[in-house]
Chains A and B, each alone.
Chain A
Amino acid sequence: MWEKKPVILLILATAAILVGTCITMVLPFVWVNTEADRITSVTPYTPLQQDGRDVYIREGCNNCHSQTVRPLVAEVLRYGDYSKSGEFVYDRPFLWGSRRTGPDLARIGGKYPDAWHYKHMADPQSMVPRSNMPDYDFLTEAEIDPEYSRKKMETLGFPFTEAQISSLEGKTEMDAMVAYLQKLGSDIPWRQSAKTEVVGELANPSPKDKAAIRAGQLLYADNCAMCHAEDLTGDIGPALDEPYLDDADLFRLIHDGIEDGGMPSFAALGSARLWQLVNFINYRKQP
C-alpha cells in the first residue's frame, strides 16, 4: 500500500525516524544538566575567557584538540581526572572534538604558566620541536571589542561586572585565548585529589652514571628545555646550570611540580626517568 502512496510513505518514514530520535536524543534532556549533574565549583566563563573560547571556535581548534578525558588508565595518567558532565554546563557549543592530532585540552588549565602559552601559541615549534601546530601569532594583533563582549555575555546569560568589561580595553585575542586555556578543567580541584606523594627514603639508584646522564639529556630536551632553555640557562623557568638542589629534593620537585610557580608535575614520567633527569641536571658537568 505504502509503495503506491507517497504521503503515507513520508508519514511512516518520519515516524520510524522519530522513535530512535525521541528515545536517544530527546529523552536524555530529562537527566543531563539538571541538579543531579551540578558541580557547585563550576562557574560560567568571564568575559575575557568567553572571548577566548570564541577565538578557539573561530580558529577551529576542535579539529585537532579534544576536550574530554575518558575514564581510561592511560588517558587519566596523560591528561588528568576524567571529565564529568557537570563541568560542561556552560559550554555552548560543547567542544569535545573527535580527533587528537594534538593533545586533549580538557585539563590544560593551570598545567603551564601563562608565559608558556603566549610563546607556544605564537610559535609552537619554539616550545615543542617537530610539532605540526600552525602559528597563531596574529592573535596578538587583534584587539577585543568590550561592547561586543558585553552583548555576548548578555546573550549567554552569564554574570559579569562593569569592571570586567572595562578591563577588556586594550586586551588582545591572544590574552583572551590564554585566559580561556587556563580556565579549562580547573573548576574542580582534581590536581589536589590526584596528587601522589613520594614516601620513604629517596636514593639516586645510579649517581653520575653516564648512560643515565645521556638518557636524562634526551628527556630534558623533550620535557624541560622549552622553559629552562636547551643550555639550562633558564627562560620561562629559572636557570638550572648551577647546582640547584640535592638529588632527593630535585627528584621530589620534578615529581610534584610547583603549583603556584607554574611548574607542572612530571610524576607521569615514572621514577626511572625522573632519576635520569636528576642525573643529567646535577652531574652533567662532572667528569
Chain B
Amino acid sequence: MENPTYDTTIVRSFVNWSILWGLVAILVGVLISFQMVNPDLNIAPWFTYGRLRPLHTNAGIYGWGIGSFMALYLYMVQRLCRTGLWSPTLAKVQLYLFNATIITAAVTLVLGFQTSKEYHEMEWPVDLMIVVLWVIFSVNIIMTIIKRREEQMYVSLWYMLASLVGVAILFLVNSAAVPVSLFKSYSAFAGTNDANVQWWFGHNAVAMVLTAPPLAIFYYFLPKSTGVPIYSHRLSIVAFWSLIFMYLWTGAHHLLWTPVPDWVQTLAMGFSVMLIAPSWGSVFNGYLSMNGQWHQMKENYLVKFLILGITFYGLQTLQGPLQAIRSFSAFIHYTDWVPGHVHMGTLGWVSLVIFAAIYYLYPRLCGTELHSIPLANLHFWLVLVGQLIYSVSMWIAGVLQASMWHAINPDGSLSFTFMETVVRLYPYWWIRALGGVLYLVGVLIFIYNIYKTAAKAQPQSVPATENA
C-alpha cells in the first residue's frame, strides 16, 4: 500500500493560532484575578470584570480548547484513517473562519454584546458563525473517516464523532433566541426552563468539549508517546458508551436547591455519582497501560504530561460527583470552591493533555527535534505548581466562605455580614493570582520552546511513514 500524503501545514497553523488564543485567555484570566483584589483595575466600560470574565472563559474553551482540538482532530484523523483529509481546502476555510469567529466573539464580548448564558455568552450573529464553522469541521472529519483506508475505527475516532454530534445538538438548542437587533436577542426559553436548558448545555459542553476530545487525544497520544498499547479494548468500549449516555442526565446538578423540579435535580445527582464509573474506566485504562512502563515517567517528558493529565481527570471526576450531591452542594455552591474545581479540569486535565500532544506532533511536523526538553520539564513543573496553588487556595477559600455564610449564632442570627465574609477572602485571592502568574510563566516558556522548534523547521515537510 502506498504511503498516503498527510496535510500537515493546516495542523501547524491551527496549533499556532490556538496557542495565541490560549495566551489571550490566560492573560485575561490573570488580569481578572487581580481585579478581584483591586477593583481599580476595572476600566469601565470595556474592561470590567463582568465583560472580561466571559472573554476569559470563551478564549480558553473555544480559542485554546476547540482550536487545539481542531488541530489535533485534523492530525489524528488522517493517521488513524491512513488517508489525507477529505478536503484540504475546506480545512483552510475552517482556519480562517475559526479565527474570524474568535476575533468577532472577543470584540463583541468586550463591547457588551452578550447573552449572559455561561459559556455561551456570544450573541446570535456569532452563534451563526459558529454553526457554519462546526458544520465545515464536522463534514471534513466525517468524510475523511468514511473514505478511510483502515477498516477498524480506533477509540479516538469514536470520541471524535460523538463530540461532533454532541456539540451540534447542545449548541443549537441553547442558541434558540429571538433577535431584537444585530447584537441583542432574548432567549427562546423563560426562567426555570431557560435555567434547565442552559445547564443541560453548560454541563454537557464539559462532556463534549472538555472531556471527549481530550480523551480522544489521550487514547491516541499515550500509546504513541510510550510505545505501549491501551490496556483494555473492552474497557474502552464500556467507558465510551456509558460516558456519552450518562452525561446528558446531569446538567441540573448545577441547579440543586433552585426552583427546577426536584425529580430533575435528583436524577442529575444520581447520574453524576454513576458517572464516576465510566470516567474512571478511562483513568484505569490509562494507568494499567503503563504496567511495567512506569519508568517512562522519569525518562519521557510526554508521559508526565499525559499521566498527570489523566490523574487530574480522575480527581476532577471524583470531586464533580461529590459537588453534585445535594448536601454538599448546599455548602459549597456559589463559593470559590467552584472555580478551584473548574481550573483543575481546564488547567490540569485538558491543558496538560493538549501540551503533550503539541510537544509530540510539532517537532514531527517540522521535521526536527524539540528545541529543549529541559525547558519542557520546567514548563511542566510551573504549570503543575501554578494550577495546584490556584485550585488548593480556592478550595480552602470556598470552605471558609461557606462556613461563614452558614454560621448562625445561638440567638438565631447570622454570625457574619456578607462583607465580613468577603474581606476574609482577599488573601486567598492574592494567592490565586500568584498561581495564575506561575501558570502564565510556564505557558510563555512553552511558547518559546515551540517557537524555537519551528525556527529549526526543515523547509520540506516529511512524508508520513509513521503508523497510526
Which A residues form the contact surface with B (CB < 8 A)? 3-4, 6-7, 9-10, 13-14, 16-21, 23-25, 28-29, 31-33, 37, 54, 57-64, 66, 68, 70-75, 77-78, 83-85, 87-104, 124-125, 128-138, 148, 151-152, 155-156, 222-223, 268-273
Task: Verify A28–B45 contact, CB threshold 8 A.
Answer: no
Residues in chain A near residue B260, CB distance under 8 A: 28, 32, 85
The contact string, 1 if C-beta is below 8 Å from chain A, for chain B 109-137, is 00011111110010000000000000000
Q: How far is the CB of A274 from chain B (nearest CB, A)?
A: 9
Bound-state CA distance A272–B193 (Å) is: 43
Q: How far is the CB of A278 from chain B (nearest CB, A)?
A: 15
Name which residue of chain B comes closest to A104, CB basis.
B334
Task: Verify B195–A77 contact, CB threshold 8 A.
Answer: no
Interface centre among A20, A269, A270 (most CB of B within 10 A): A20
Q: If the complex has contacts A14-B169, A24-B268, A94-B194, are A132 and B39 also in contact, measured as CB distance less than 8 A?
A: yes
Q: Is B210 an interface residue (CB 8 A)?
A: no
Q: How far is the CB of B176 from chain A (nearest CB, A)?
A: 11
Main secondary structure of the interface of B (DSSP, over half): helix
Q: Is B257 an interface residue (CB 8 A)?
A: yes
Q: Is B142 an interface residue (CB 8 A)?
A: yes
Task: Verify B39–A85 contact, CB threshold 8 A.
Answer: no
Q: If the complex has contacts A59-B112, A94-B191, are A85 and B413 also in contact, measured as CB distance less than 8 A?
A: no
11 contacts between A and B (CB under 8 A): A16-B245, A17-B162, A28-B261, A66-B334, A70-B330, A78-B418, A85-B260, A94-B187, A98-B334, A222-B417, A270-B409
Interface size class of B (residues with CB under 8 A): 35 or more
Which B residues form the contact surface with A (CB < 8 A)? 35-39, 42, 44-45, 48-51, 53-54, 112-118, 121, 142, 145-146, 151-153, 157-158, 161-162, 165-166, 169, 173, 178, 180-181, 184, 186-198, 200, 241, 244-252, 254-255, 257-261, 264, 267-268, 271, 330, 333-335, 338-339, 405-409, 411-414, 417-420, 422-423
Residues in chain A near residue B249, CB distance under 8 A: 20, 23-24
Task: Verify B197–A25 contact, CB threshold 8 A.
Answer: yes
Residues in chain B near residue A29, CB distance under 8 A: 193
**Residue from B241, B271, B414 in contact with A78 in the complex, judged by beta carbons closer than 8 Å:** B414
10 residue pairs, one from A and one from B, having the closest CB atoms: A270-B413, A60-B50, A88-B191, A20-B248, A134-B42, A85-B259, A70-B257, A20-B249, A93-B187, A58-B112
Residues in chain A near residue B413, CB distance under 8 A: 77, 268-273
Task: Verify A148–B36 contact, CB threshold 8 A.
Answer: no
Bound-state CA distance A156–B48 (Å) is: 28
Bound-state CA distance A58–B54 (Å) is: 11
Bound-state CA distance A4–B112 (Å) is: 47
Name which residue of chain B comes closest to A66, CB basis.
B334
Task: Verify A21–B193 contact, CB threshold 8 A.
Answer: no
Bound-state CA distance A110–B195 (Å) is: 25
